[in-house]
Amino acid sequence: MNHTYAVIMAGGGGTRLWPVSRKKHPKHILPLLGEDTLFQSTVARLEELVPLDQILIVTAEGQAEELEKQAPGIPAKNFLIEPEPRGTASVVGLAASVLAKRDPEAVMLVLPSDHYIRNRDLFHLVMRAAVQVAHKGYLVTLGITPSFPSTGYGYIQRGELLHEKYNYPVYRVLRFTEKPDEEKAREMLARGDHSWNSGMFIWRVDRILDEFARQMPDLRTALKKIGATWNTPEEQRVLRAEWPRLKSVTVDYGIVEHAENVAVLLAGGLEWSDVGSWDSLFDILLPDQDGNVIVNSEHMLLETHDTLVYSTEKKLIITVGVDDLIVVDSGDALLVCHRDQAQQVRQVIENLKKMDKNDNL
């Protein structure tokens, strides 16, 4: 029997890809990169590793229907719906509780639904190695080799090499650092012993539930109540009663950063991106000889270089004499942003909220 399960976290927003990614149409359910959505690619990437029946999706009420449509091979009962967003600790806890009931020996791959990985074969090798390490009782993180001093990712510092016979180098984790400022990021890159935290995790269900019991006992208690009534007529009543009281925290901060026996597997070569902002999308797509990328739009680029033009509708977009721009048209809204300023889109969203422009969120 295959004890490997995947848990896809598919409830997020992806606000830095505004105006295409919206509250009601977040980035993982959009065909951002072509025919498939990021969510569909995440599922497709798993098919060689895990039977479809062993893929769980944790998502929000408003997205479940669309996701079921996009992954018709996954049984409806595998879609777990958060009554409201309570952070990834709650998401992982819920999935772990449900899996523990189904298969006490389960190993779970925890995967965001909105990441991009070009090298799918390598992903399979990496995940198989990670599952081996997880079987030994480690909480496994996937570390990405940093290519620049990013302030958009968390960092993982590695300590001793754990085991030499895995296909991949696996180290004990010394320390996690949340998104740093640029100076700190440069320091970490210079040290040479830091990876980016990819946000993908691999662990045994019993191990992670033990960590919940040790570090977040209130959550563990609530999860036990929810788990006890799961697949019974009481399921939804208990879930809805317990959920809103949960502390909203990420699984990184709430559990992984202070867990015992945390390992980092160096997953070089995946060609991974969290597609977290327009500049990272730009990095994924193949530019033409002028460095330009055009997506979904009619276009005419005159004396234009290193510019991304993205439209969700058939629209004629023309640029003249510009460099290093990101131009995104979503019909009701238009973003024109310098490539180096793509992180500022988060600020745009904050401003829109303050201005009560809910139609644009």
Of the candidates 231, 232, 236, 344, which one interacts with its own copies according to CB under 8 A?
A: 344
Mapped onto helix, strand or coil, the DSSP state of residue 293 is: strand
DSSP label at residue 96: H
353's CB contacts (< 8 A; 6+ apart) are 361
- If one asks whether residue 276 binds its own copies (CB under 8 A), the answer comes out as no
Of the candidates 76, 190, 286, 302, which one interacts with its own copies according to CB under 8 A?
A: 302
Locate 310 and state its tokens. 């993205």
In whole angstroms, how close is the CB of 67 to its own copies at the nearest point? 28
Comparing CA positions, the residue from 121, 122, 189 lying closest to residue 153 is: 189
Locate 331 and state its tokens. 């019909």
Of the candidates 338, 353, 356, 358, which one interacts with its own copies according to CB under 8 A?
A: 338
Q: Which 203-222 positions form the footprint of its own copies (CB under 8 A)? A: none
- Rank residues 2 and 344 by Cβ distance to its own copies and give the closer one: 344
- From CA 37, how far away is CA 27, in angstroms rounded? 8
- Rank residues 48 and 303 by Cβ distance to its own copies and give the closer one: 303
CB 305 within 8 A of CB 321: no
- From CA 193, how far away is CA 159, in angstroms rounded? 8
Of the candidates 186, 214, 347, 353, which one interacts with its own copies according to CB under 8 A?
A: 347
Q: Count of alpha carbons within 13 Å of 126, Cβ hemisphere only?
A: 27
- If one asks whether residue 60 binds its own copies (CB under 8 A), the answer comes out as no
- If one asks whether residue 320 binds its own copies (CB under 8 A), the answer comes out as yes
- Rank residues 192 and 321 by Cβ distance to its own copies and give the closer one: 321
- If one asks whether residue 17 binds its own copies (CB under 8 A), the answer comes out as no
* Contacting residues toward its own copies, per CB under 8 A: 19, 300, 302-303, 315-322, 325, 327, 329, 332-338, 340-342, 344-345, 347-348, 351-352, 357, 360
